[in-house]
Structure 1
Amino acid sequence: MTEPPEKPVLQKPPGYRDLSNPGQPVPLPPGRKPAIPPSFRPKKKSRSCWGACCFFFCILVLFLIVFFLVAGGLFYFWFDPKLPEFHLQSFKLPQLNVTVKPDGTYLNVEAVARVEVKNPNSKLEWYYDGTRFEISIGNDTVLGSKNLPKFSVGKKNTTSLKVVTSVKNQLVPDGIGTKLKSQISSKDLMVFVNVKTKAGLVAKGWNAGTMEVNVLCGNVKLKNLENGEMPKCTINLLEWINIH
């Protein structure tokens, strides 16, 4: 007797679950990995490289700051730098003529001023460049200005700077010329010398650069200078540090 043909085995569809065995896990069909948006993709290591560069740059800056602080401290400890000293040595008016004309009062004056510059340093020299003198008397009556060439003051040395200025036929307010002439006769005339320069230090041939210096000499009576007084000038550094 012929056996009946075997029935083909049916393949279970994906996601089929056998109800007779509920605890059996249902296998999931294989699928593709979910696509990740570009904004959520892991970034490259450029940010970490940038952070490392910033870190090393900060270290370098800190090192340079410490280096210059240490170098400056050693320089100060070894050379013991001191600021120069300025004194108004003398002031004379060889000529003072006041002329009253119908159109006003005119002044003819010649002034001679000497300023002493002292270097108190034993290991450093001071040098000066772009020095300009301006002389005035009384109530801000300017008697001219003059530029001086470069000069230097050696270690523990002193130099004297002489400046001659003059004004001719300078118009002044009525009464000022007569007042100045009266003050000269009584030696009560107030005199002023303003020195603007660029000063720098030299250590064993090495130039440390220059800085702006404004020196104010005066606010002293002419008779005090003629009696031998040499008032100390005020040094103004960088337009805001005053040193007497």
Structure 2
Amino acid sequence: MTEQPVKPVLQKPPGYRDPSTPVQPGPRPPPSKAVLPTSYKPKKRRRSCCRPCCCCLFALILVLILVVAVACGIFYLWFEPRLPAFHLQSFRIPRFNVTVKTDGTYLDAQTITRVEAKNPNGKLSLFYKQSHVTVTLGEDDTELGPRKVPGFTQRKQNSTSLKAETGVRNQLVDDGVGKRLKAGFRNKEMVVKVEVRSRVGFIVDGQSVGPLGVKVICGGVSLKRLEAGYMPKCTINTLKWINIH
């Protein structure tokens, strides 16, 4: 029996795909990033030197505060600084006249006041800047003044008398105020008040510390008690560090 000739195997051309073979999905391409506008692109953060500088400045301020607090504590414990004490030493009214005219009521008055300032410190001297003395009369607080008193220096545990002459001439006042002042001066029931505004500082080894603004209020008593010899102690209020012009 004759053998059939063997058919040669045909070679598949390049790129041939058998239609019976299932198609397998290929790898997915990576998702593309959305392109942001230039204004939305995150900026690279740069290390700033502000934070270390602020920390150093804060630490320096704390150290300075601590040094000042310690120095003030040592100063207070060693010198025991105290503000001066004030007394109303004398008060006189050499001239007082209330005149009623057709065009109003006029006041003509003069006062002479002495306020004693005492330095209670045993280790510190005091210095006083220019003081302003104001006198008020009656329940309506009719003001006479102010009068300026030059500054001065006060040694340890020393007393100084401040003299101030205040007054007004032909000052127009309300008719009711004039009547009350006239009646109060006549029966000696008129209330007198003296106010002193000044600046006081300490002297340490020739160096000035301060000054501190103070307001001193003396009186608030009747003229009858003052003429009888009663000289009240003045109250002192500490103000802020101010300049009085």
Does TM, scored on the shorter chain, surpass 0.5?
yes
- Residue 223 of structure 1 corresponds to which residue in structure 2? 224
> How much does 1:39 deviate?
4.0
Q: In the alignment, what sits opposite 1:132?
A: 132
2:57, 2:180 → 1: CA distance? 67
- The answer as to whether partners of 1:96 and 1:110 remain within 8 angstroms in 2 is yes
- For residue 209 of structure 2, give the secondary structure of its aligned residue in structure 1: strand
Other-structure match for 1:72 = 72
Q: Which amino acid aligns with 2:195?
A: N
1:16-51 deviation per Cα after TM superposition (whole angstroms, max 9, x unaligned): xxxxxxxxxxxxxxxxxxxxxx8475x55x42x333
Who is 1:91 aligned against? 91
In structure 2, distance between residues paired with 1:100 and 1:40: 86
More divergent stretch after superposition (84-93 vs 51-60): 51-60
1:4-83 equivalent positions in 2, closer than 5 A: 39=42, 41=44, 43-44=45-46, 46-47=47-48, 49-83=49-83
SS state at 2:180 partner:
helix
Counterpart of 2:187 in structure 1: which amino acid? S
Summarize deviations over 1:144-186 as a string: whole Å, max 9, x none: 2211111122110111111111211111111433332332232
Q: Which amino acid aligns with 1:157?
A: N
Secondary structure of 2:90 counterpart = strand
Asked if the contact 1:89/1:225 (under 8 Å) is kept, the reply is no
Residue matched to 2:37: none
Where does 1:60-209 land on structure 2 (aligned, <5 Å)?
60-138=60-138, 139-209=140-210
Instruction: Work out the number of aligned pairs and report it.
Output: 200
Deviations 1:173-222 (A, max 9, x none): 11433332332232211001111111111112111121221111121111
Between the aligned partners of 1:186 and 1:224, the Cα distance in structure 2 is 12
Query: In structure 1, the residue corresponding to 2:78 is in which secondary structure?
Result: helix
In 1, distance between residues paired with 2:89 and 2:146? 18
Give, in angstroms, the shift of residue 108 of structure 1. 0.8
Q: Secondary structure at the match of 1:231?
A: coil
How many Å separate the matches in 2 of 1:232 and 1:226? 16
Give the TM-score of the pair, scaled to structure 2.
0.76
Matched residue type, 1:147: K
TM-score of the two chains, using structure 1 as the length reference: 0.76
Aligned to 1:18: none
Distance 1:40 1:181, change over 3 A: closer
Cα distance in 2, alignment partners of residues 164 and 53 from structure 1: 59
Q: Secondary structure at the match of 2:76?
A: helix
Identity %: 47
